[in-house]
Amino acid sequence: MKIMVQGTGSSVGKSLLVAGFCRLLKNEGVSVAPYKSQNMALNAWVTNEGLEMGRAQAVQAEAAGIAPHVDMNPILLKPNRSLGAQVIVEGRAKGHFPAMEYEWMKQGLKQVAKRSFDRLASRYDAIVIEGAGSPVEINLRKNDLVNMGFAEIVDAPVILVADIDRGGVFAQLVGTMTLLSPEEQSRVKGYIINKFRGDQTLLMPGIEMVKPYLTIPCLGVVPYMEDLLIDDEDSVTTRIEPKGKRAGLPAVGVVQYPHASNLSDFTPLEMESGITLHYIKTPEEILSMDALILPGSKHTLHDLNWLNETGCGNAVKKAHQLKRPILGICGGYQILGMQLEDPSGVEGDVTCEKGLGLLNVHTRMGSLKTTKKTNLSWNDQRLNGYEIHQGMTNPIFNEKNWMENESGDCLGMKEASAMGTYLHGVFENESFRTWFLEELGAQAGNWEYQAKKEESYNRWASHLEMSLDWPRIREILTQSGNL
């Protein structure tokens, strides 16, 4: 059995709907897995096998109650402004390619996508497939391997999702269906209106009025959930908007440079009630924070230059002089060091740059990419997480103030109020999160991250079951049969 969720555009909520469908089916006792043939995102995950995949599919797998596997996302594109995109196939980086060259690669990648899907279909009873962007990017339809092109390959029924929060929801739906071919239109079994705010009785006349233009049924209207803390496809899109501080609570600022990646690292902090978390871009915002975090980066040298050009780098140094806690993760850790070298041009033409100089480490970029689950020793405890980075960072001075993994590799360093680490997922460790909050004078909540996530998945699934015609969706899935 299989069903595909496509959208009228990007960020309409496809990823979260797939996660919710997976949890609903899991709760019914169905063996289910998520799938997305091609994902373009800066949020990544490392599987138990040390392979890289999209974070959204890892979240969906967790909602399905299974371990993430690279077959769930065989092709991952990580955009890079100066180099096109890094293409990751079946968990391994193949290099950076411009858009046109990647188009030429797609024909061969269709076979990769189908092979991964077939393996999943042999292991699970149901597959919930996620599309990407819009299915009517007609200029790209010839080589499509993620929307209607892939639905044809695996003969999957499609549900179309539109985002009413952006406005123009009926135009989105009618325009999309009009641009689909008759064969593609017959594949679409219904539509969902997502992210609704307000009184649904005001929307119902519109659903009736659009029927002459839409032959497919409405399968439900999903009210917007303000406090849903499940990672979306790329970063934390709905939570990076500016927000006000709350009186008496420390403010933690995540510096949002242009290529910031893996912002999902900070979802656990979003769940803490003792602080306010902000995504910031200006020197003034940086200096108004009680603590700073420099996140991962897909293009570290470019983001370092951005910090220097905007004055944000000097603001971080000033915050350090004021003894405010500063944490760098992955690319942010590299930026906090003394120097970054890229002699092979892994990230472009710049071969060497001075870092912000808050940690006595230096980084040398290399062609090999580290992707693995790992842990490190910190405060006599083991912290679990994963690594995704180019290059290695080593201490300049032989002082034992760095964090080691089991092999003795340097995965982090702490000096005074500055600290850096390669460990993604570090805040999922209760001991570290508690320590970080106590450094700010904030009290950690009495909860466990994994339990909180489970509660969120179940709450989201219940919300969808009440909002949608779930029996009808379930029937579409059942009727899809097997390949």
Give the residue numbers marked as catalytic.
330, 424
Mark 428-466 as b/e (b = at least 16 C-beta within 10 Å).
bbbebbeebbebbebebbeeebeeebeebbebbbeebbe
Give me the long-range contacts of 377-380 (CB less than 8 A, separation at least 24): 377/403, 377/404, 377/405, 378/403, 378/412, 378/432, 379/431, 379/435
The neighbour count for residue 476, using CB atoms within 10 Å, is 17
Q: Greatest CA span in the chain, whole angstroms?
A: 74
- Whether the CB-CB separation of 132 and 109 falls below 8 Å is answered with no
DSSP string, 147-210: SHHHHHHHT--EEEEEEGGGS-HHHHHHHHHHHS-HHHHHHEEEEEEEEE-S-GGGTHHHHHHT
Strand, helix or coil for residue 60 = helix
Write out the two tokens for 111.
């076979």
Q: Are 188 and 180 in contact (CB under 8 A)?
A: yes
Distances in whole angstroms, Cα of residue 255 to Cα of each of 26, 165, 332: 37, 27, 9
The answer to whether 441 and 249 are in contact (CB under 8 A) is: no
236 CB-contact burial (10 Å; exposed 0-12 / middle 13-18 / buried 19+): buried
| Helix, strand, or coil (residue 221) | strand
DSSP E strands, 176-299: 188-196, 218-223, 251-255, 260-261, 276-280, 291-294, 296-297
Residue corresponding to tokens 């980075």: 389
Helix or strand (DSSP H, E) at 86: strand 84-89
DSSP 419-449: EEE--BTGGGSHHHHHHHHHHTT-PPPS--H
Contact 269, 425 (CB under 8 A): no
Amino acid at 221: V
Considering just the CA atoms, what is the radius of gyration of the chain in Å?
Answer: 23
